[in-house]
Structure 1
Amino acid sequence: MNPNEVLDIGMQALILAGKLCAPVLVTALVVGFAVSLLQSITQIQEVTLSFVPKALAVAVALLVAGHWMISETVAFTHQIFERIPSLLGG
């Protein structure tokens, strides 16, 4: 196993991590921005007003994108397991 293979696997893992966290983070960002904009317009400064919609939106994003996230993780795992013999030099 040479350093290039290790770096390739690490890069693929980081790309996968970015792809998996993107739907949740973008959803939280958009909902958080919308709620803070609403709070600044109406001057309502309630803590739960910013937390509850964001938590609900993240839960919905996980429900919508969850199947895709799991299938991407399983595909990556299968790819790594298939590469084990070549990584060990066999």
Structure 2
Amino acid sequence: MNAPKVRKEPGADTGNESETNTRELLNEVTEWLQYACGMTDLMAELVYEAETLDCRRMALAFQTIGALLERSVTCTKRAHERVVWEQAQQWVETSATH
């Protein structure tokens, strides 16, 4: 399983929010969520079939799923911020012309 390409979050290091648009952020969210679902399915299958469990590995796997979900939430927040920003800009532009 290949991890999704790590993209810089808007404004993360460069201060340039135009690098990632809303669609790209939402695509990234979908990608991260698909990886989290895949990991969850894999873990469920392994636990179901295992005679013994390695608690350290289980904990690491759950932390990995948590990190994937956390990244998804972060990208979702960024996408929402961008949508709100774009709507505010449109409102200002519309208001200025009237």
> Which TM-score bucket, shorter chain as reference?
0.3 to 0.5
TM-score by length of 2: 0.41
Question: TM-score under structure 1 normalisation?
Answer: 0.44
